[in-house]
Structure 1
Amino acid sequence: MSDLATDKSGFSFSTCWNIKRGGGRAMIEEIASLGFREAELNYNVTREMLTEIEPLIERGEIGVSSVHNTFPHTPDPDYGTDSVLLGFEDGDKRKKAVDLLVGSAEYAHRYGAEAVVVHPGEVPIEHAVVKELERSYHEAGRESEVYRRAWASFIERRERGAGVYLKRIISSLDEACDRAESLGLNVKFGIETRSRPNQMPTLAEAKKVVQALKGAPVGIWYDTGHAIMMDRLGLYDSVKEMEGLMDHIVGVHIHETIGLSDHWCPYVHSGDLHFYDRYLPMIERAGVKVYELKAACLPEEIQAGHRLLTEKLEARKRAGVRLER
């Protein structure tokens, strides 16, 4: 049996970890040195980096599990990861957002990737309002009166605006799927759980998207760390509200949080050997499993986190076999 500490089959690793440390080839070689044979190319990968990465893909030195829209890197913040994006009211802007998403899907198909990770959009609420919520959470706590008042005001604004943006997001995804099908692109679109409470989708919104686009290659990209943070803030229950979505998980981002700080190695940095277990069912269901870790995570911490995660997944599998007998 393969050593669980080094065997990374079935798992991919995001360039989020080392995107700022060097060129395209060096970045991929560093990921491969951890034992990963697949990478997720994130939204900060530039066309210049791709000139070094594509030969590695063509020679089979690295596989690509997924690409992260918008891909390659688009410097215009209107089409970045924290924008209205697929929910733009302006028709020309929304058309460009759909064009960019289809372009990401073309790259994914070319590289043999299974999925495109999609940040669908957001309810445009000032970032300062979100930061004040986070400050209240840290200083006073979720059960405090000051946080409750701030949250009630925030959620009222979010709910008032969410419907129209969700409708446009569904329409944009429908168009992107139709165009992808016409181009023969064999990829899925995973709408990602996000890291700020004004961003979309919530799990209830994700369910509406999946139901509205039934039969289309659209599902949820369950970012575990982001879901934990939104659960802590009170946006949704990150476990219970997965009912009805488990069969629609396209992929997962694997990382844990400390408070509202994300992209840490599971189990290792939190020091809690049990909390993250509740997200193992989502990881099991996902066709694409990607570690999305920050640069502060050291190689030995990444190995330790992977070993713990895979040991727990293996134990669940063995327990399942015994139950079936």
Structure 2
Amino acid sequence: MYSLSTCWNSHRHTDGRLMLREIRSLGFDYAELSHGIRISLLPGIFEAVDAGEIRISSLHNFCPLPMGVDRAAPNIFKFTSEDPREREMAYRQTLKTFETAVRVKAPLVVLHMGKVDMKDYTDRLLEMAGAGQRETPKYEKLCAEVLEKREKRKEPHLTAAYELLRRLIREAEARGLRLGIENREALEEIPFETDFPLFFREFDRPSVVYWHDTGHAQIKENLGFIHHGLHLEALADRLAGFHIHDVSFPGRDHLPPGAGGIDFAALAGLVKPEHIKVLELGPWVPTADVQRGWEHIRSLWGET
């Protein structure tokens, strides 16, 4: 199935039903409720779903937004926090996402797992890559530094996140939900690109699946940390779905497919009809470009 994320249009709507009708008017049978859904949009969303106007493919945590938050904030409460109060808020808000997913009959919730507490190397490396400095000794030194520091500091954050995830798995399974663990673009966020195989051995159950973000993977390739296609191939047996967006080198993402540098054709052999395929486009993307991007990806990945 193909779906369109509400990250494209939730900001300009005050009525959730009209928000979903706009997506349906483009030809999408499904929408993903993204992490910018204000509580005030829920009544209209429920009306649209109950009336059969559109179906919900997935939700992106946290959905709806926590009280008092009026803009997308998927990392406002981190699973990896060393503050137990923040982790408890992450747990409670994720449970609210689960309840919303059940209410709209969505089968899957996409999760961010958190980050290691360290300085941000990602933006600096993106800046250097954009300036043509990827092959310089300074760039290589920074890459080695981030790998060393995040490895040294990860254990307490992994312990916290994994304990919280185990609690959430029990709640998700009781509700018949799957949890999509998303690959992230920031080098400080977990699971690290090298740790995904270990992660899925640790959580070897059908309710915990891999969610592949094409833009995030391409940014990691642009920085020199993975090969996009090989990374996806290594996790294909746990793959449940995609966030689809393109990237202009090195890191301008959430562009429509075909507007950036991702070789979507090279990934096509790993895409199956049963995968959930969500276009996750920036709110600045014109409607005509949304349609062109959807046509482009279907021409490469198939109609279903």
TM-score under structure 1 normalisation?
0.85
Answer yes or no: is 1:312 the counterpart of 2:303.
no
Distance 1:55 1:97 in 2: 28
Aligned to 2:64: 72
Deviation per CA, 1:162-201: give whole Å up to 9, x if none: 23322322221111111233xx311100011112111122
Offset of residue 95 of structure 1: 2.5
**1:189 is aligned to 2:205:** no
| Alpha-carbon distance between aligned partners in 2 of 1:202 and 1:278, rounded to the nearest angstrom | 23
Runs of 5+ consecutive residues of structure 2 not aligned to the other structure: none
Does structure 1 residue 141 correspond to structure 2 residue 133?
A: yes
For 1:71 and 1:201, locate their aligned partners in 2 and report how far apart those are by CA, in whole Å: 22
Residues 1:96 and 1:217: Cα distance change in structure 2 (over 3 Å):
same
Q: Deviations over 1:37-66 (max 9, x none)?
A: 211011110110112211111111111111
Superposed displacement of residue 118, structure 1: 0.3
Identity of aligned residues (%): 28
Contact 2:82/2:156 (8 A) holds in 1: no
Equivalent position of 1:42 in the other structure = 34
Please state if 1:198 is matched with 2:198: no
For 2:158, the equivalent position in structure 1 comes to: 166
Pairwise CA distance, 1:253: 0.4
Query: Whole-Å Cα distance in 1 between the matches of residues 42 and 5 of structure 2?
Result: 15
Cα distance in 1 between the residues matched to 2:236 and 2:172: 24
Q: Which residue of 2 aligns with 1:297?
A: 285
3-state SS, counterpart of residue 109 of structure 2: strand
1:148, 1:20 → 2: CA distance?
Answer: 40
Residue 275 of structure 1 aligns with which residue?
263
Asked if the contact 1:219–1:248 (Cα under 8 Å) also holds between the matched residues in 2, the reply is yes
Conserved in 2, the CA contact under 8 Å of 1:229 and 1:257? yes
1:87 paired with 2:80, answer yes
Decide whether aligned partners of structure 1 residues 202 and 278 sit closer, same or farther in structure 2, where only a CA change above 3 A counts.
farther
Q: Does 1:120 align with 2:120?
A: no
Report if aligned partners of 1:84, 1:122 keep a CA contact under 8 Å in 2.
no
1:149-171 CA distance string (max 9 Å, x none): 22222222122122332232222
Number of residue pairs the alignment of both structures matches? 300
Deviation, structure 1 residue 76: 6.2
Is the CA contact (8 Å cut-off) linking 1:246 and 1:285 kept in structure 2? no
* Alignment equivalent of 2:171, drawn from 161, 166, 179: 179
Partner in structure 2 of residue 320 of structure 1: none
Task: Give the Cα separation in 2 of the matches to 1:37 and 1:12.
Answer: 7
- RMSD of equivalent CA atoms: 2.4
8 A contact 1:170–1:213 mirrored in 2: no
Aligned with 2:103 (options 86, 89, 110): 110
- In the TM superposition, what are the counterparts of 1:220-231 in structure 2 within 5 Å? 220-231=210-221
Other-structure match for 1:209? 199
Confirm or deny: 8 A CA contact 1:118 1:191 kept in the other structure: yes
SS in 1 for 2:87: helix
SS of the residue 1:122 aligns to: coil
Is 1:288 the counterpart of 2:280? The answer is no
Name the CA distance, whole Å, in 1 between partners of 2:125 and 2:37: 31
One-letter code of the match for 1:226? H
Deviation at 1:83, TM superposition (A): 5.5
The runs of 5 or more residues in structure 1 that have no matched partner are 1-9, 318-325
Q: Which residue identity is paired with 2:28? A: F
Question: In 1, distance between residues paired with 2:271 and 2:281?
Answer: 16
What TM-score, normalized to structure 2? 0.90
Classify the secondary structure of the residue corresponding to 2:153.
Answer: helix
1:258 to 1:143, Cα distance in 2 relative to 1, 3 A:
same
Instruction: Tell me if structure 1 keeps the 8 A contact 2:110–2:180.
Output: yes
Q: Which amino acid aligns with 1:44?
A: G
8 Å CA contact retained: 2:213, 2:244: yes
For the 8 Å contact 1:249–1:286, the answer to whether it is kept is no
1:195 alignment partner, SS class: coil
Correspondence for 1:322: none
Q: 1:261 is aligned with what amino acid?
A: R
Equivalence for 2:254 = 263
Give 1:246's aligned residue. Answer: 236
Q: Distance in 2 between matches of 1:90 and 1:216?
A: 30
